[in-house]
Amino acid sequence: MKKQILPLLLLFIILIPNVFAYYADLQINVDDTGKTTIKGVTNNKAILTQDNPEFTTKKGRFWTLNITTQDIYDPYNFKVSLPKNSVVNYMKVSSFTRIENSANLNIYGAGTGKIVIILQYQIKSTNSNIIMPIIIGTILLLAIITTVILKLKKKKTKLNFNTLTPRQQEIVKILQKNKGQLTQSKLEKISKLPKSSLSRNIESLKRKNILEKTPNGMSNTLILKNK
């Protein structure tokens, strides 16, 4: 009788892991704050979770995801989706099959036994991709503004005789008749204005941005900006 029971006992011991094994087909999503959601088809509902922060830790720039089960699965399949722009630095995964880099970094595994998923990863900043276009755009904008300002400075002042005194009008007309340029001494002879009065009116026309005065030997050259 004992000899008959012993083989049955051994067979029962061998079959126990298969009888009580779980199966799982899991989708594991990790967001950029480290919260983990595990969903899918399994007869072990305890492994399923929503927005759980307990599977991840962070040290500096590096995140660590650790999902390690004590339960036996026969079989299991999983897909881990890490946040966008993630880069894996270390990986320990049971029955790893492949990595797929699409919108998110996806890691696949399949096998039997305990599920072990240990990943160290970091999320690359996208600031560098944004800053460079901003810098280039700022430089272009400053260049356009500078060009406009220079053009406005070079733009000739529109001459309005109504704003000029009779003597200033006379000075402008003499310059216009002489291609917009004369020495101050020659202008003095043509206009027959007193030297002091001529100097005052020339300075007034300079302030109104109507003419320029540049030194020329013992005299000055007067240039009409709007001929």
Q: Do 22 and 95 have their domain in common?
A: yes
How far is 106 from 118, CA to CA, in rounded Å?
14
Please report whether residue 7 resides in a domain: no
How far is 20 from 42, CA to CA, in rounded Å?
13
How far is 212 from 207, CA to CA, in rounded Å?
9
The tokens for 81 are: 């989706």
State the pLDDT at residue 115: 93
For residue 71, what are the domain limits? Answer: 18-123
Task: Using the Cα atoms of residue 50, residue 51, residue 53 and residue 58 in order, give the sign of their dihedral.
Answer: positive
Q: Do 33 and 113 have their domain in common?
A: yes
How far is 75 from 22, CA to CA, in rounded Å?
8
Q: Do 39 and 119 have their domain in common?
A: yes
State the pLDDT at residue 142: 87
Note down pLDDT in tens along the chain; length 227 residues. Answer: 555 565 555 554 554 444 557 999 999 999 999 999 999 999 999 999 999 999 999 999 999 999 999 999 999 999 999 999 999 999 999 887 889 888 889 999 999 999 999 999 999 876 555 676 778 888 888 888 888 887 766 555 567 777 888 888 888 889 888 888 889 889 888 988 898 888 899 898 888 888 888 888 888 898 888 66
Please report whether residue 78 resides in a domain: yes
State the pLDDT at residue 10: 54
Among residues 100, 123, 146, the one where a domain terminates is 123
Please report whether residue 65 resides in a domain: yes
CATH of the domain at 205: 1.10.10.10
Please report whether residue 41 resides in a domain: yes
Q: What is the DSSP letter of 36?
A: E
Please report whether residue 4 resides in a domain: no
Please report whether residue 181 resides in a domain: yes
User: Does pTM top 0.85 for this prediction?
Assistant: no
